[in-house]
């Protein structure tokens, strides 16, 4: 089995993260992961990117954390892939299967409706996984769902403080027949055991491999320490 991180952040691009892309690559390599997907907060979320810059510069800055992680990953033998954590007024969606060129080709994508954004992701061959759908926090006033635009649900999120938030996510996934995923939502260098991920029979070498694992329901297992299940 091969282990993939589906949800992590870098300090270069996510305003709430302290681990750089290179540090994340090293941390995950040391923990035995085969692949990580960097999902920094998008330009409509908690980003470090200056939204007043021209679109090309915003995209350049948004991709910096991923690119630094990939550079270090290439040096140490860790596969590093590109993803996005898209924000919709408190709801978060993990986007896989689009890249820097797609962002450059869609200069309005941080301001269009979430449904339209997801339609474009699907048209480009990507997929949408609802991140920690039932998380509670002071800054959250309601919950939003896109069941007709969702392919998977992050049932286990290591950043969820309360287990019942994961239980509810499991219920949501089961109700709609969505594939379940797990992710660490890791922002920092840490020595805790809060490292989650997905297991697959074949190594996730390209982002297309992960998109088809989600769409064809080929995730073989979830890596979640027993005490968090």
Tokens of 63: 């991709």
- State the number of CA atoms in the 13 A half-sphere of 66 facing the CB: 22
Tokens of 79: 């596969």
Instruction: Compute φ and ψ for 51, nearest 5 degrees.
Output: -75, -5
User: Minimum Å distance from CB 39 to Zn ion?
Assistant: 6
State the Cα–Cα distance between residues 44 and 174, nearest whole angstrom: 29
Element (H, E) at 122: helix 114-123
> Of 107 and 136, which has the nearer Cβ to Zn ion?
136
Binding-site ranges for Zn ion (CB under 5 A):
16, 85, 185
* Closest to Zn ion by CB, 68 or 157: 157
Least Å distance between CB 47 and Zn ion? 10
How near is the Cβ of 45 to Zn ion at its closest, in Å?
8
In whole angstroms, the minimum distance from the beta carbon of 82 to Zn ion comes to: 15
CA gap 5, 39 in Å, rounded = 10
Instruction: State which residue, 67 or 85, has the beta carbon closest to Zn ion.
Output: 85
- In whole angstroms, the minimum distance from the beta carbon of 135 to Zn ion comes to 10
Nearer to Zn ion, 72 or 132 (CB): 132
Nearer to Zn ion, 16 or 76 (CB): 16
Separation between Cα atoms, residue 39 and residue 42, nearest integer Å = 8
Tokens of 225: 């320490």
Whose Cβ is closer to Zn ion: residue 88's or residue 104's?
A: 88
CB of 77 to Zn ion, least distance (A): 25
The residue with its CB nearest to Zn ion is 16
Chain centroid, CA 187 distance in Å: 12
144 close to 105: Cβ distance less than 8 angstroms: no
Query: Rounded distance, CA 101 to CA 106, Å?
Result: 9
């Amino acid at each position: 089995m091969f282990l993939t991180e589906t949800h992590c952040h870098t300090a270069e691009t996510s305003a709430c993260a302290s681990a750089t892309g290179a540090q994340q690559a090293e941390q995950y390599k040391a923990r035995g992961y085969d692949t990580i997907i960097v999902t920094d907060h998008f330009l409509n979320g908690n980003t470090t990117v200056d939204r007043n810059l021209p679109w090309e510069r915003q995209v350049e800055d948004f991709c910096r954390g991923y690119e630094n992680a990939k550079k270090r990953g290439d040096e140490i033998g860790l596969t590093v892939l590109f993803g996005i954590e898209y924000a919709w007024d408190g709801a978060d969606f993990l986007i896989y299967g689009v890249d820097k060129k797609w962002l450059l080709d869609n200069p309005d994508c941080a301001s269009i409706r979430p449904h339209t954004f997801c339609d474009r992701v699907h048209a480009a061959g990507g997929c949408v996984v609802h991140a920690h759908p039932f998380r509670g926090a002071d800054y959250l006033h309601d919950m939003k769902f896109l069941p007709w635009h969702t392919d998977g649900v992050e049932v286990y999120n290591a950043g969820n403080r309360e287990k019942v938030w994961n239980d509810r996510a499991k219920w949501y996934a089961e109700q709609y027949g969505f594939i379940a995923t797990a992710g660490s939502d890791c922002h920092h260098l840490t020595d805790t055991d809060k490292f989650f991920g997905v297991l697959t029979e074949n190594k996730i070498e390209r982002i297309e491999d992960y998109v088809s694992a989600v769409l064809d329901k080929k995730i073989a297992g979830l890596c979640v320490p027993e005490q968090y299940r």
